[in-house]
Copies of this chain bind each other. A is one copy, B any other.
């Protein structure tokens, strides 16, 4: 049985990404999964050595399994690996902490909860990336009995994954995540579920706004059922905070459309204020960027030519979005640049023959 710096239990998106990040930093990583093929895929991607059967001793073990199984797996590891600190990556903290505290005895000193705020709607080891956690917050939730050495071991992993540690009590984490993640997931699903009554022909009239608003609705039902059950009270409160004003508005709209219109105005204004609090990409505050839109022919070389021309203008692309449907003759590239570069880029691209509109300025 090999010794390793890190044992990853669960070769899904998050577990494999942790393995990739730690291995890239030079750690000895072992990775295992109840499905040995997933561990092999993760190992082939560079996320460590796949192990099956008896687990190797390790300085730190990360439990990256579905939320409902976290406590059971963590307790098993704490009992079997006597010198290993055990953490996990679930988006619920209190429920597994309570269970581990109840059953681990003195081993609880080696337990520390954790939750990297990163992920995608897609899952599985092939979606993993060593950079998934870069500049993202990673909440660390010690339990009352966690030893300082155990907390340090987890913080070392967090920094190795280039994440930013945020130490919080489990209850506070769960209340925040209910608001910031669990309720938005359920709301997006509830909104998307109303479409099933309409049929595909009617849904054709949906715009891109609805597609964005319901993007989360592609998530995995099994995992979210477990998260909801494990964070029930906080999620209930967070759902009421959305549902109550909606029901109230519905009643007003039926009673008096004019004052209800004013109430919708106020709600949309409050929503803008709330949204302004959200961080930009990679967890940093939103940066105001200028947007330039450009028509792009749907041919293999067109984007290369566009970005070559942008590079020749010595303008750095901060973000971009390309839209075109397969088989359509043209698409659009929306390029976000520093506001000071916008005029130069528009002028330069037009001079080079591109059809450019300036677009609005926004934080993409």
Contact = CB atoms under 8 A, between A and B. Distances in A.
A4 interface: no
Interface string A319-343: 1111111101010100000100000
Chain A interface mostly: helix
A325 B358 CA distance: 21
A24 to B, nearest CB: 10
A37 to B, nearest CB: 16
Nearest to A217: B271
A214 B275 contact: yes
Given A194-B238, A204-B283, A254-B233, A185 B209 contact: yes
A191 B184 contact: yes
26 contacts: A126-B359, A183-B191, A185-B209, A186-B267, A189-B270, A189-B272, A190-B242, A190-B245, A192-B270, A192-B275, A195-B278, A212-B216, A214-B274, A217-B268, A221-B265, A221-B268, A229-B264, A230-B261, A236-B250, A237-B250, A239-B246, A239-B250, A240-B246, A287-B325, A300-B316, A318-B324
Given A181-B207, A184-B214, A321-B321, 11 more contacts: A118-B207, A119-B207, A127-B357, A135-B325, A180-B210, A189-B272, A196-B273, A196-B277, A203-B278, A210-B278, A282-B325
A234 B198 CA distance: 14
Contacts of A180: 195, 198, 202-203, 205-207, 210
Contacts of A186: 246, 249, 264, 267-268
Interface in A138-172: 139, 166
A198 B184 CA distance: 15
Name the interface size band of chain A: 35 or more
Given A177-B205, A298-B316, A326-B338, A126 B360 contact: yes
A215 B217 contact: no
Given A196-B277, A250-B240, A360-B126, A191 B271 contact: yes
B207 A260 contact: no
A187 B181 contact: no
A332 to B, nearest CB: 7
B357 A129 contact: yes
A349 interface: no
A203 B357 CA distance: 33
B236 A254 contact: yes
Nearest to A274: B195
A105 interface: no
Contacts of A284: 325
